[in-house]
Structure 1
């Protein structure tokens, strides 16, 4: 499916860091999809939005698992173009602004894999979550994977250097030597962000995950959250 763009503007829309149009677009993404966890909460006939799909790694896995109504979207042109080269059969679309061109409640479930880790500003994170709250139907599911604050010396040093370079940034935002900009969260920050947009955490699973940088691992967390029922 050819890529398309949504031109509808929205204040505070998440910006694409230049890293994802260059070096980052060649990376191999690593957060694993827990098939058992997904199947526990999301039936095969569900309409699923892979928000921040990158090059379609998880979108392809969902299709292979038998999920037919899967749609991937991402703001990086380089990643979408890569995805369409590698998976021309998938529905992958470029978006450059919010809201996305889908009606309210269009999806039964959404994936949000390490999107909050690369959309680093508070206002931009709230814009993403507000859009997902619009798109996921009442009682629908959000499957989130992201990285909490790490306690090892290397990461703590990165956090402190990031805070010193820009005191206005949230704590946990840091840059990597190859030019990436990332954010790790206090676990309670993720829960509060979900709650603020009408999602209730139903299950939370910690795990160790390889990073985008060879040989490094982090403690990560996967969360199943359910949108409030209407009324």
Structure 2
């Protein structure tokens, strides 16, 4: 009689649960009050753990702050890394054949990336992310470098390659970098200036219809990317 092997689902330990609770709470509190304004007691009380949990799992409050940045980078990447890898792979595949991605395919990939970002950054889930990220944009710490290396840099690189194809310019040019920054910024504004956007658009909430409207805007923004006309 053959033995049947059964895979058991990993059940998180008490330590893993406590560690994740602290990180989730830290993402919210650090975003609201900043590093200096968030005390270890606030973190402990919100997570429902004892005061020694922070030094035990993270070494210090500073260690928890960096772990929070790593967690945030991982959360964002869980939504975008597969698509980013697919696009990068296709660009390299075409390059290996001595060719360049067509404008149509580059436009399609860029639209797909921006639509995913639009849906992600106007979702309720991204509210605490935005608070944390905005603080790091204003006064960068080591946490900013963690998030930039994990998420922002690879996304900028892939986006710049696609925009470079559409503009028929080098992806590393300042002009291409400015265009990709403005593209991403035109979507992030719906999160970082959420109240103003909602007021101007007279939206009461962001649901499927509103997400679709913003994703339609993506198509317009990408369609507008054309090579600069050379003046004679």
Q: Normalised by the size of structure 1, how large is the TM-score?
A: 0.24
Query: Which of structures 1 and 2 has the bigger CA Rg?
Result: 2
Higher strand share: 1
TM-score for the superposition, normalised by structure 2:
0.24
